[in-house]
A = this chain, B = another copy of it.
Amino acid sequence: MKYTKEKLVSFFKSNGRMPSYSELAKLYGFKSKNSAYSLASNFIDQDILRRDSKGFLIPGEQFNGIQILGTVQAGFPAFASEEKGEHLSLDEWLVNEHDATYLLRVSGDSMIDAGILEGDYVVVERTQDFSVGDIVIAEVDDEWTMKYLRIKNNKYYLEAANNEYPDIYPKGELKIHAVVRSLVRKYEKNK
């Protein structure tokens, strides 16, 4: 392919929308809108773009998202066969209820045995739809914590994922504010 999708992607990122055909022409150095039209048709064949019912260009399956390749440590799929894999957007995958979802930075090591480390980010959803076994953001006796929600003798209590932290049996009210739906960790580059 002589023309790659890179310029298109960067246009979309900085402009928040797909280009019109005249913009597309300018973007790739064409003097005619029709050249852009053909180029777009190419991209459509690759499912990088789509034309919607009004003719506008919109992102196709291959435009956004990152590819799911396979499993590491159980027959790693060859990078060669990386064409047309499944693509997904992390935002759509991890976030269900958009307006009730927040990101919290984790401090402390109380959930370390659950693989939640200091500096990680948890995606929490403000909801009362929690279950025993969930990791919840709770307010107990005027303190906020993130712990496992457990139950004993029909009473909720909180359990850390770290032996050095005792279970918390609320004296007063136990308020569940949010449920941890997913976790995100970003590795900084070593230098």
A interface residues, Cβ below 8 angstroms from B: 9, 15-18, 20, 50, 52, 54, 56, 58-59, 64-76, 79, 82, 88-91, 93-95, 98, 101-108, 110, 112, 115-117, 120, 122-123, 126, 131-135, 137, 139, 144-146, 177, 180-187, 189-191
* Residue in B59, B126, B135 whose beta carbon sits within 8 Å of that of A16 in the complex: B59
* Closest CB in chain B relative to A99 CB, distance in Å: 8
* Closest CB in chain B relative to A103 CB, distance in Å: 5
Expressed in whole angstroms, the Cα–Cα distance for A110 and B18 within the complex equals 44
Note all chain B residues with C-beta closer than 8 A to A189. Answer: 131, 134
User: Is B102 a contact partner of A68 (Cβ separation < 8 A)?
Assistant: yes
Expressed in whole angstroms, the Cα–Cα distance for A76 and B147 within the complex equals 14
* Closest CB in chain B relative to A151 CB, distance in Å: 12
* Closest CB in chain B relative to A117 CB, distance in Å: 5
Copies of this chain, how many? 2
Q: Is the interface of A mostly helix, strand, loop or mixed?
A: mixed
Note all chain B residues with C-beta closer than 8 A to A106. Answer: 71-73
* Residue in B17, B89, B103 whose beta carbon sits within 8 Å of that of A91 in the complex: B89
User: Is A187 a contact partner of B134 (Cβ separation < 8 A)?
Assistant: yes
User: Is A108 a contact partner of B74 (Cβ separation < 8 A)?
Assistant: yes
- Other A-B pairs, 5, CB within 8 Å; known A72-B146, A131-B189, A182-B184: A66-B101, A67-B103, A69-B104, A132-B190, A180-B187
Expressed in whole angstroms, the Cα–Cα distance for A18 and B18 within the complex equals 10
Note all chain B residues with C-beta closer than 8 A to A93. Answer: 186
